[in-house]
Every structure is written in structure tokens, then in C-alpha cells.
Amino acid sequence: MWDVKTLKKVSVEVIGLEPPCPRCKKTRENVEKAITKLKKANVEFKVAKLNVASKETVKRYGALVPPAVAINGVVKIMGRVPEVGEIERILRKTIQDYM
């Protein structure tokens, strides 16, 4: 297990259709599961749902294929439903890079 000495904040955005399609719902569910596995990491996770078709989302990220996952403002996954383990690995790397 790895150690984080101070509280870190990580923003996770699930970007998809509105209303959410089954793939977008599954992506959100997998993000929540990955975060649950990292609860002991002394990290505060903020999860948000963004509409892929909104002007703000397009302006911020450009054209995306849903579902997509952005971590701290950077799109890490796009166009597929990521597995829980993949999301967890990306979050761990983000936290380690943060230190």
C-alpha cells in the first residue's frame, strides 16, 4: 500500500449523454467503485457528471466520444466503458504524481 501524508483533492468528471445511456451509467458506477477502493488514501475525490453535448464541455474538452472520464481536467478515457481496475490505476498514478 502507498502512503499519502497530506489530504489531496482529485476531480473526476464522467462525461456522457443526458439522460445517461447504459454505458455512461456503467462508467459512473465503475468510477464510484474505484474511488471506494481508494478511500484509505487520504484523498478527497470530487465526482461530477458532465453532458458531452453542452457548450461548456465542448469548449473545455473539444469533441468527445462518450462515455469519457477526465481526471483533474485531463481526459484519460474516451469512447468505452473502463474497468474498475483501470480507473483505480489511473487514480493511483494521479495521486502519486501529485506528491
Please indicate, yes or no, if residue 51 is contained in any of the structural domains: yes
Please indicate, yes or no, if residue 64 is contained in any of the structural domains: yes
User: Residue 69's domain is classified under what CATH number?
Assistant: 3.40.30.10
Mean pLDDT across the chain, nearest whole number? 90
Q: What is the pLDDT of residues 47-93, one digit of tens each?
A: 999 999 999 999 999 999 999 999 999 999 999 999 999 999 999 99
- Across the strands, what pairs with 14? 49, 69
Q: How confident is the model at residue 7 (pLDDT cuts 50, 70, 90)?
A: low
79: containing domain? 11-98
Q: pTM (2 decimals)?
A: 0.88
Residue 2 in this model has a pLDDT that exceeds 50: no
- Residues near 1 by beta carbon (within 8 Å), at least 6 away in sequence: 40
Report the run of H or E that residue 27 belongs to, with start and end: helix 22-37
- Number of domains present in the structure of the chain: 1
C-alpha cell at 33: 467503485
Please indicate, yes or no, if residue 1 is contained in any of the structural domains: no
Please indicate, yes or no, if residue 6 is contained in any of the structural domains: no
- Across the strands, what pairs with 71? 12, 74
Residue 1: per-residue pLDDT: 40
